[in-house]
């Protein structure tokens, strides 16, 4: 499954907001009527779910982002704190890695980074330059790396023991949200309420001690083919 994230250099979103939007887009695609038996996406989705589930995050901006909206999938947008750009992610119906649709083939995978949100001036250069000229320009930017999805019914925790790029983070958070949605332990009533929320998730970054001692109903172990060295538990989900 390819996940495209909107990369705006001038008005960037925070990485946590992009990760949450990516997770919501993936779950919304899997829950869509088109992915159900008889739907146009069902065969492709089931073929992907029956194998080794892989997600690849690509960044796109400008015309490329607009072109990707024409490919079958689901786009989710959500706002961050004051002063930050809106996070936008589109989960695309799973398909072969090659050949890629031209719109996707022109996007980038490596080195996808979004600002954490807790430092001023944050990247990109446009914001840095504005604050350098007028320090008061930074007053409209809320500095926090924490989630603003306080009312989310599902929480995804990220390991404090590993470093990940923004793209890798998006894929791992989305995988945890998918497994939560697929879990038979997720109560039916909560599933309905989660759907009514647009599958909102809250991403949290626990410290090492609770990460080592707490157990959650969903755990994601990355195989270690990209970025991470060997099988590594990356995310957990609970509700």
Q: For the segment 191-207, what is each residue's pLDDT rounded down to a tens digit?
A: 999 999 999 999 999 99
52-78: burial string, b at 16+ Cβ within 10 Å, e else: eeebbbbbbeeebbebbeeeebbbbeb
Is the pLDDT assigned to residue 228 strictly greater than 70?
yes
Question: Which pLDDT band, with edges at 50, 70 and 90, does 122 fall under?
Answer: low
Mean of the pLDDT values across residues 53-60? Answer: 93
Is the pLDDT assigned to residue 223 strictly greater than 90?
no
Question: Which pLDDT band, with edges at 50, 70 and 90, does 146 fall under?
Answer: very high
Mean of the pLDDT values across residues 66-75? Answer: 97
Question: Which pLDDT band, with edges at 50, 70 and 90, does 9 fall under?
Answer: confident
Is the pLDDT assigned to residue 79 strictly greater than 70?
yes
Under 8 Å CB-to-CB from 180, ≥6 apart: which residues? 154, 156, 186, 217, 218, 237, 239
Q: Minimal CA–CA distance to 220: which of 204, 231, 236?
A: 236
Given the DSSP bridges, would you call strands 201-204 and 154-158 parallel, antiparallel or unpaired? Answer: parallel
Helices 15-31, 166-182: crossing angle, 10 deg rounding: 40
**Which pLDDT value is given to residue 74?**
98
Q: Looking at 2-11, 107-116, 228-237, which range is the least confident one?
A: 107-116
Mean of the pLDDT values across residues 44-65? Answer: 93
* Bridge partners, 237 (sequence order): 156, 218
- Provide the whole-model pTM: 0.92
Is the pLDDT assigned to residue 217 strictly greater than 80?
yes
């Amino acid at each position: 499954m390819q996940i495209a994230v909107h990369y705006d250099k001038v008005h960037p979103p925070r990485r946590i907001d992009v990760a949450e939007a990516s997770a919501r887009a993936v779950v919304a695609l899997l829950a869509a009527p088109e992915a159900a038996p008889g739907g146009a996406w069902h065969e492709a989705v089931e073929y992907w779910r029956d194998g080794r589930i892989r997600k690849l995050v690509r960044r796109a901006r400008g015309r490329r982002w607009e072109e990707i909206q024409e490919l079958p999938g689901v786009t989710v947008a959500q706002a961050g704190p004051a002063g930050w750009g809106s996070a936008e992610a589109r989960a695309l119906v799973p398909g072969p890695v090659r050949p890629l649709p031209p719109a996707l083939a022109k996007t980038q995978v490596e080195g996808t980074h979004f600002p954490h949100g807790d430092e001023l001036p944050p990247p990109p250069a446009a914001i840095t330059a504005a604050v350098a000229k007028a320090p008061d320009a930074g007053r409209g930017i809320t500095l926090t790396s924490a989630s603003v999805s306080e009312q989310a019914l599902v929480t995804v925790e990220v390991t404090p023991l590993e470093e990940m790029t923004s793209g890798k983070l998006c894929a791992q958070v989305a995988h945890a949200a998918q497994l939560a949605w697929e879990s038979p332990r997720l109560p039916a009533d909560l599933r309905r309420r989660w759907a009514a929320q647009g599958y909102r998730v809250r991403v949290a970054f626990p410290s090492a001690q609770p990460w080592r001692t707490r157990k959650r109903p969903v755990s994601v172990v990355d195989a270690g083919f990209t970025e991470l060295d060997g099988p590594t538990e990356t995310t957990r989900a609970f509700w």
